[in-house]
Structure 1
Amino acid sequence: MLSVQTPVAPAVLKHDIAAPSTTTASAPKTDAQLDAWHRDLLRDGYCVVKGAVPKERALQYADRMHGWLEGFQLGYDRNDLSTVHKDKLPAITEKGMCLNYAVTHEDWAWKIRAEPGVVGAFEKFLGTDDLIVSFDAVNFGFPNRKDLPPNKPWPHQDQDPLKPGFRCLQGLVNLLPNGPDDGGLIVCKGSHALSTQFHEEMAYEEKIPAWTNEWYGFTDAGMKWLADHGCEWIKVCAEPGDLLLWDSRTAHYNLSSKTDQPRFCVYTCFMPVADASQEDLKRKKDAFERRVGTTHWPNARHTGSNVAKRDGVDDPHNRDRPVEEPQLSERAFRLTGIPYIKAE
């Protein structure tokens, strides 16, 4: 069953559902000391941090994203939805993901990651300000696309079933109005709390093939198990500047818009630098210097490429540097992990 919900603070909390990193020294907070979104996240496996980025600034970021697309000069015009076509845009998947062209290191992408309200939410939940950030994908979700394969549901969790417990807090910064039918994030409320039980009871099932163990896809049988155990699928609605957070054990995917409203967002995930090895940080430094992306894992366990394909061959419009190189504040530079690399 699918419903639309704006999370509210619960009356009863279960702090054992998603514990912050054990590497931090912060003392546990009482229920009354937690922000409402923090309590929602612990209980439901997801939450909305309202106004993490001021609305006006969020819309300015969306404007810069439109400008980035128009800058390819392939014919895309933000004021004309008929120009939304793969021949007039950089490579964007049917799920809205843009992974190449050094987009993840554009100045506007870094400004969004470094927004105080965004970083601050992760600092609160993870209990430390010594964080590193992912160089994750950007989402340009356009409505009514007929030029791409349909965006079929792909319910999954971004965590290895053999590594249970809380390990990663994922997020995205929403930049345009995103209502019930505008496409976007759909989550299985409470599935994070049942993750261990699910994988114990469904261990016999043949897995959906995946390129990494840190991705688990839910089959029809798995979806039935979740439904039988009272889990409900929720379409998360958001305003420009809202930060959406979810536990990596929470089953989720994204929907395409049924309206004329595009969906723009930047995926962003932070983790304590203490959870990354020196080898991780060196790999992350290399990814930053080459301006390539990562997955949502901030320790850069996998790095990407700036080589997009168009009609099966390298896109002639590929680029390996951003149009606008990131101008990083001292705080943002720390998020690259580079300052935490020890001298040899």
Structure 2
Amino acid sequence: MSTTATITQTAVQASNLHGFGRMRVDGTDTKFGDFRDDLTRDGYAVVKGAIAKEKALKYADEMYSWLEGFELGFDRNDPSTVQKDKLPVLNEKGMVLHYALPHENFVWAVRSEPGVIGAFEKIYDSEDLIVSFDAINIQFPNRTDVPPNTPWPHQDQDPKKHGFRCMQGLVNLLPNGPDDGGLIVCPGAHLLSEQFHKEMADEELIPAWTPEWYGFTDRGMKWLEDHGCKWVKVCAEPGDLLLWDSRTPHYNLSPKKNQPRLAIYTCYMPVADATQDDLRRKKDAFDRRVGTTHWPNAKHTGSNVAQRNGEEDPHNRLRPLVEPVLGERAFKLTGIPYIKE
């Protein structure tokens, strides 16, 4: 992976690239000898084999079983059953936000994998981490029963707040090649983010439900192009962990051929970066088995009430089908042990 020649040392300095949390970065000459070199240079990285392939495929099997468990007629072996009335509610981006899915036991098992947690421990140089209760992504190819998944290039970060703030991630569970949908990124553009927002300060914002989201307009896309930024489809194998800086422009696409896409979003941050109010809000989300966004400090909490055809889905679940069984390490990731009574 490489950034374009137009991303200069000046841009690197202007980006306020001083480090990922506690991971100190002195500039482009800093070398870690691992995926962190890709992160500092390109704003994204692939950690190969964070979970063993066989284990990742087992998690994929459990996700298929979860879908079939609604007994709406979906059959993983019959593509004709990929219909919205035979599935829980998935949006056109493949996101599943409800049904207590973020707290299913197999989802927590993925979050608890040592190879996944370990990558974030390296980034932050800390074992005292908390994890997001983020959405799960399920995308099937060749769908005509839902709106098309058009490109939605964005940053998951308030444009008024510069510098590194959040490392996002997902665990890929099925083979994910060039035509299998998934993550699209703009390598190196995170280094230009502050410059971009200063020069584009007069741009009318695309409406968003949170200030922690910035969508790129056609003019913004032209700015990136003029500054030598290119878009790349990230490919991965089952068990690979994909990481990206929240400043890195990104979006996802749906599969084009026959291979579905299954992924579990996993984002961690140091518990030291969360307030006690954050942790109490996070505990409430865990107790109610609702999701959060990618922010591990639970900036926003969700609901388990999905809407189907304008009404509450009669198949809604307020608790997981299989409640999570958390070991000591996983329980710390909830943030609950760090709450001071």
Q: 1 CA distance for matches of 2:272 and 2:315?
A: 39
**Residue in 2 aligned with 1:221?**
219
Aligned counterpart, 2:141: 143
Residue type matched to 1:278 in 2?
Q
Q: How does 1:63-82 map to 2 (within 5 A)?
A: 63-82=61-80
Indicate whether 1:178 and 2:176 are aligned: yes
| Structure 1 position 256, deviation (Å) | 1.1
- Rounded to whole Å, the distance in 2 between the matches of 1:170 and 1:230 is 24
> Counterpart of 2:103?
105
Q: Deviations over 1:61-108 (max 9, x none)?
A: 000000000000000000011100100000001110000000000000
- The runs of 5 or more residues in structure 1 that have no matched partner are 1-6
CA distance in 2, matches of 1:21, 1:286: 28
* CA deviation after TM superposition for structure 1 residue 8, in Å: 7.5
The match for 2:153 among 151, 155, 159 is 155
Whether the aligned pair in 1 keeps the contact of 2:164 and 2:247 (CA below 8 Å) is yes
Q: Aligned residue for 2:258?
A: 260
Give secondary structure in 1 for the equivalent of 2:41: helix
- Counterpart CA distance in 2 for 1:311 and 1:323 is 24
The amino acid across from 2:39 in the alignment is: L
Matches within 5 A, 1:11-30: 18-22=17-21, 24=22
Written as runs of structure 1 = structure 2, the 5 A alignment for 1:157-306 is 157-306=155-304
Alpha-carbon distance change, 194 to 66 in structure 1, aligned in 2, over 3 angstroms: same
What is the CA–CA distance in structure 2 between the aligned matches of 1:273 and 1:29, rounded to whole Å?
Answer: 24
Find the counterpart in structure 1 of residue 321 from structure 2. 323
In 1, Cα distance between equivalents of 2:31 and 2:20 = 18
Q: What does the per-residue CA deviation read over 1:306-336, in whole Å, with 9 as the maximum and x for residues that have no partner?
A: 0001111000000100000001110000000
CA-to-aligned-CA distance 1:3-45 (integer Å, 9 cap, x gap): xxxx4899xx9786644455x4x77699686143110011000
Q: d(CA) in 2 for partners of 1:154 and 1:101?
A: 25
Q: 1:227 to 1:286 in 2, by over 3 A?
A: same
CA contact (8 A) 2:53 2:238 kept: yes
Letter of the structure 2 residue corresponding to residue 295 of structure 1: T
Which of 118, 121, 124 is matched with 2:119 structurally? 121
Give CA deviations for 1:119-163 in whole Å, capped at 9, x if unaligned: 000000111110000000000011111110000110000000111
2:130 match: 132
- Does the CA-based 8 Å contact 2:18-2:25 persist in structure 1? no
| Structure-2 separation of matches of 1:145 and 1:258 | 9
* In structure 2, distance between residues paired with 1:191 and 1:39: 15
Deviations 1:203-248 (A, max 9, x none): 0111101111100000000000000000010000000000000000
* 2:43 is equivalent to residue 45 of structure 1: yes
- Tell me which amino acid in the other structure corresponds to 2:262: F
- Go from structure 1 to structure 2 and tell me whether the alpha carbon gap of 1:32 and 1:165 turns closer, same or farther (over 3 Å shift): closer
Partners in 2 of 1:9 and 1:227 — Cα distance?
13
Measured in 2, the distance between the counterparts of 1:286 and 1:9 equals: 42
- How far apart, in 1, do the equivalents of 2:177 and 2:214 lie? 28
**Residues 8 and 36, structure 1, Cα contact 8 Å, conserved in 2:** no
Q: For residue 208 of structure 2, what is the amino acid of its counterpart?
A: A
Change (3 A) 1:118 1:193: same
Distance 1:276 1:145 in 2: 40
CA distance in 2 between counterparts of 1:45 and 1:187 reads 9
Is the contact made by 1:9 and 1:40 (CA closer than 8 Å) also made in structure 2?
A: no
Task: Describe the SS at the equivalent of 1:59.
Answer: helix
Q: Which amino acid aligns with 1:124?
A: K
What's the counterpart of residue 3 of structure 1? none
Residue aligning to 1:34: 32
Mapped to 2, the partners of 1:154 and 1:8 lie a distance apart of 23
What runs of 5+ residues in structure 2 fail to find an aligned partner? none
Secondary structure of 2:149's aligned partner: coil
How far the C-alpha of 1:198 sits from its partner, in A, is 0.2
- Tell me the matched-pair count: 334
